Structure formats: structure tokens, C-alpha cells
Amino acid sequence: MIRFSKAVNSLRSSEIRDLMGLATRPDIISFAGGMPGNELFPVEDIDEIYNNLELDLKRTAFQYGPTPGYPPLLESLKEYLNKKGMPVNNNKLMITTGSLQAINILAKVFIDPGDTVVTENPCFIGAISAFKSYQANLAGINLDEDGIDIQSLKAFLKKYKSVPPKFIYITPYFHNPAGTLYTEQRKKELILVLKEHGLLLVEDDAYGELYFDEDVRKRVMPMKALYENELTICYTGTFSKILGPGFRLGWMLVPPDIYQKAELVKQSMDACSPNFTQVLANEFLRSGRMEKYILKMREVYRKRKDITAAAIRKYFPPEVTWTEPQGGFYIWLKLPPRIDIMAVLKSSIEKGAVFVIGRTFDPEGRDNSHFRLAYSHTPEDKIEKGIQILGGCLNEALKSLK
Ligand SMILES: Cc1ncc(COP(=O)(O)O)c(C=O)c1O
């Protein structure tokens, strides 16, 4: 008889992953996967970079590399993060295989079976799965428009004072799935609570570069940069949303003692992240292409968000509520009571549009009143049609209640 581990038995299959299969059907208009559009990737730049590499460097790209990362990329990334105001000198930087691996490594470094981890509710599904795979108990604290709900967090930490959580994991900048951008005030309040309880912060900054307006630029300044001296913060970032997920490159910036443990864990996971893409990413960064590419992507995603938002206003019933995001990939919508979101999803798929239901992002798997639309990879000329289909299904579902 096959006997699976308790850890793997505690994982549920991700609805996102199941839906990804549908998202690739050519006739479906997909608002499902949180990924960049294929047509946006800087293919010509990468062609040029590879073709102009010296033979020795091409060979290096094929080889294994050091566990913490390809040294020239570590240097260029350090410079890049330093320019953003990140405390790169008091911390250590490690390249990881996507930032999901950074989250996974930190989970392994800190979690013993039965430990509690605090997350936001909703929460990035990859992080939920990573924490569960180490048999953590997840405590999801509600998010509102300004960030994590401080009163609920305080109440939770007070109630469980005798068994404090190992860490708190948050995504303060254009949250996946909620699109939320934390206010300065909320960040300050959060830091006060975390300091009082001596709680470690894992700050996931997958989307912070993708703001739509210069006036929110200040608000994407990482807590790692602002509050480095007040609290232990492990910061994670990724090339996935600003270059391409296929590179499978992310990073963590953490204090040296945590870095030491993380390096040991990474050694046992994959020895090193792909040298091939590290060489290419390094040249992309070093040549100044990254800044230009991100500028272009901010415009593209802003336009996609605008088209999606206009179509939602036109086709969705007013009972469905949502907040317009100021960056990132996602719009998070709330349904009126008693709507069966699974039924809406099914009929929407039949008619040709797919999205992700809120339950996927609930650490306790209970939410029935939200859904997520990702506009990042939907071609501009298909967005309105897709939203119209979905709006039709939502209107039908509402009518059937009356
Ligand atoms: C909030 C958040 N963090 C981390 C990741 C992980 O991305 P990657 O492993 O590709 O760097 C994602 C991907 O969707 C995400 O949405």
C-alpha cells in the first residue's frame, strides 16, 4: 500500500492549476492565471543578449552555479535594489528559483509541524500551499482596502499569546488576489503590533514595481527599507512579473543569520537556480533594459486595467462591488449574498470566459463571496467581450434569486 506523508495529504489541489488547463483552450477568454501576456515578453532583447555573449559565458550559462546565485547577477541586483533604497549592505541577498522558492525556503527555515503562521485573508495560493506543506496552521486575518485589519490581528495575537505564531506573511503592494496597496498609516500600525509581539515579518513584493501612477510610487517603498531597524524582516522579490516567469528567478533579502540557514535549505532543494537564465537576467539588468521594460509594462497593465474597469462598469450588476487597483495584475470583486459562484464560473466557462473563485485564496477554504479577475494576460481586444460574458452570467444568477 502506498502511504503518503501527512504533509502531502494536507494539501488540496489548486483550483487555479486545474483552471490553467482551460485557460489555454484557444476559444476561452481567460482572466484566470496571474501571469504576463506572452506577447509582452522581451524576446528580441533576450535573443540579442544571448547571441552576443562570449563563448565562455555561454558555457557558464549551461553549468551549475553557486547556491546563493550567479555572482555577477547578485552584484547587479544588489545595485538595483540599493537604488530603490533597500538595505542591501546589512543583509544578504540570495537568488532563488522564483520567489515561491524563497517563500518555501523561509517556511522550511521557520516552521515545525503544528506551528502557526499568520497570513492575510485572502492570501497568495502558492504561499498557502508552501506553509501547509510544512504542516503549519494558518491564521488568515482579513484584509480591508488599506491593508491587514489591525484590530483582528491584535485580537488574534492576544488570544494566542501563549503559542505565538512563527511569522506573519503579507503582500503589501498590489496584493494577489485583492489588488490592495497598503497605506503608510496601516504599515506603521502593523509595525507597532509586530514590534510589541516580537513577530518576524515576511514581506512579499512580487508586484511593487508595477504601479500605474507616479503618485503611488512612495507607497510601494518596501517595509524592509522603511523599518529595517525596528523589526526583523525577510523580503522576497521576483523577476517573474517584470521579465518572465519562465526565467524562474526570484530573490530574498534577509539578515545574515537567516541567510545561513536558508542557504543550507536551498542546497538540499535544487543546489542552484538556473545559471542559464541568471546569465541572461544579469545582462538584461546591467544593460539598463530592465528600467525601460518596466516603464512599458506599467503602461500596458494600466491600459488593460482601464479597459477591464470600464467593461465591468458597463456589464456587471451594481450589486457586485470592487475597488480599482493602482497597480499589479488583479481586480478582486465581492458578490451579493446567496450567489453560487461555482455555478457562475461553470456557466461562464461554457460561454467562453474563465476567472478564479475566492475560495482558492482563503487559507481556510471557505470564502464563497469573492472572485478574482487577472487582466494582465488578456489581450486588449478580448477583454470587453470576456467581461460581457461574465456580466451576463452574474446578471442571470442575480435574476434567479428574485
Ligand atoms: C504574491 C505572489 N508572490 C509570489 C509569487 C511567486 O512568483 P514566482 O515564484 O514566479 O517568483 C506570485 C506569483 O503569482 C505571487 O502572486
> What is the pLDDT at residue 6?
82
Partner residues linked to 147 by β-bridges: 144
Last residue of some domain: 274, 289, 304? 289
In this model, does residue 19 exceed pLDDT 60? no
**Within this chain, do residues 336 and 251 fall inside the same structural domain, yes or no?**
no
Identify whether residues 307 and 269 lie together within a single domain.
no
Predicted confidence (pLDDT) at residue 15 exceeds the cutoff of 60: no
**Distance of alpha carbon 96 from alpha carbon 34, whole angstroms:** 20
Which CATH number goes with the domain that contains 307?
A: 3.90.1150.10
Do 211 and 302 belong to one domain? Answer: no
Closest listed residue to residue 395, CA positions, set 342, 328, 344: 344
Please indicate, yes or no, if residue 1 is contained in any of the structural domains: no
Which of 131, 169, 176, 205 has most ligand 1 atoms within 8 Å of its beta carbon, as the pocket-test mutant?
176
Judge if the beta carbon of residue 179 lies within 6 A of ligand 1: no
pLDDT of the residue at 21: 63
Position 23 scores a pLDDT of: 55
CA–centroid distance, residue 285 to ligand 1 (Å): 20
Last residue of a domain, one of 264, 289, 314: 289
Please check whether residue 106 is in contact with residue 117, taking contact to mean a CB–CB distance below 8 angstroms.
Answer: no
279 and 391 share a domain?
A: no
Within this chain, do residues 150 and 248 fall inside the same structural domain, yes or no? yes
Determine, yes or no, domain membership for 367: yes
Domain count, the chain: 2
Give the number of C-alpha atoms closer than 13 A to the C-alpha of residue 279, restricted to the C-beta side. 21
Q: Supply the CATH number for residue 236's domain.
A: 3.40.640.10
pLDDT at 47 over 70: yes
- In-domain check, residue 50: no
100 within ligand 1 shell (Cβ under 6 A): yes
Burial of 301 (0-12, 13-18, 19+ CB in 10 A): buried
User: Is residue 22 very low, low, confident or very high in pLDDT (cuts 50, 70, 90)?
Assistant: low
Q: Is the CB of 99 under 6 A from ligand 1?
A: yes
Stretch among 12-26, 171-185, 372-386 having the lowest mean pLDDT: 12-26
Q: What are residue 184's phi and psi, to 5 degrees?
A: -60, -40
- Sign of the CA dihedral running 68, 69, 72, 76: negative
CA of 56 relative to ligand 1 center, distance in Å: 32
Measured torsion, CA atoms of residues 308, 311, 315, 317, in degrees rounded to the nearest 10: 50
Q: Which atom of ligand 1 is nearest to the CA of 101?
A: 9
Question: Over 70: is that where the pLDDT of 53 sits?
Answer: yes
Q: For the segment 252-278, what is each residue's pLDDT rounded down to a tens digit?
A: 999 999 999 999 999 999 999 999 999
- Classify residue 132: in a domain, yes or no: yes
Q: Are residues 232 and 369 in the same domain?
A: no
* 3 state SS for 228-297: CCCCCEEEEEECCCCCCHHHCCEEEEECHHHHHHHHHHHHHHHCCCCHHHHHHHHHHHHCCHHHHHHHHH
CB 227 within 8 A of CB 342: no
Tell me the mean pLDDT in the region 217-222: 95
3-state SS string for 43-107? HHHHHHHHHCCCHHHHHHHHCCCCCCCCHHHHHHHHHHHHHCCCCCCCCEEEEECHHHHHHHHHH
Both 138 and 243 in one domain: the answer is yes
Same structural domain, 239 and 307: no
Judged against a pLDDT cut of 80, whether residue 24 lies above it is answered with: no
| Cα 99 to middle of ligand 1, angstroms | 6
Check if 240 has its Cβ closer than 6 Å to any atom of ligand 1: yes
Q: How far apart are CA 256 and CA 264, in angstroms?
A: 13
pLDDT at 199 exceeding the cut of 90:
yes
C-alpha–C-alpha distance, residues 251 and 204, integer Å? 10
Do 206 and 298 fall within a single domain? no
pLDDT of 377 higher than 80: yes
State the pTM of this model. Answer: 0.96
Report the pLDDT averaged over residues 47-74: 97
154, containing H or E segment = helix 150-159
Q: In which residue are the cell numbers 488570544 written?
A: 159
119 lines ligand 1 (CB under 6 A): no
Pocket test for ligand 1, best of 94, 238, 266, 269 (most atoms within 8 A of CB): 238
Q: What is the pLDDT of residue 157?
A: 96
- pLDDT at residue number 16: 52
Q: Looking at the structure, tell me whether residues 199 and 316 fall in a common domain.
A: no
Angstrom distance (rounded) from CA 173 to CA 330: 11
pLDDT band of 168, cuts 50, 70, 90: very high
251 shares a domain with 139: yes
User: What residue numbers bound the domain in which 378 lies?
Assistant: 6-42+293-401
Query: 3-state DSSP call for residue 185?
Result: helix
Beta strands 200-204; 233-238: pairing state: parallel
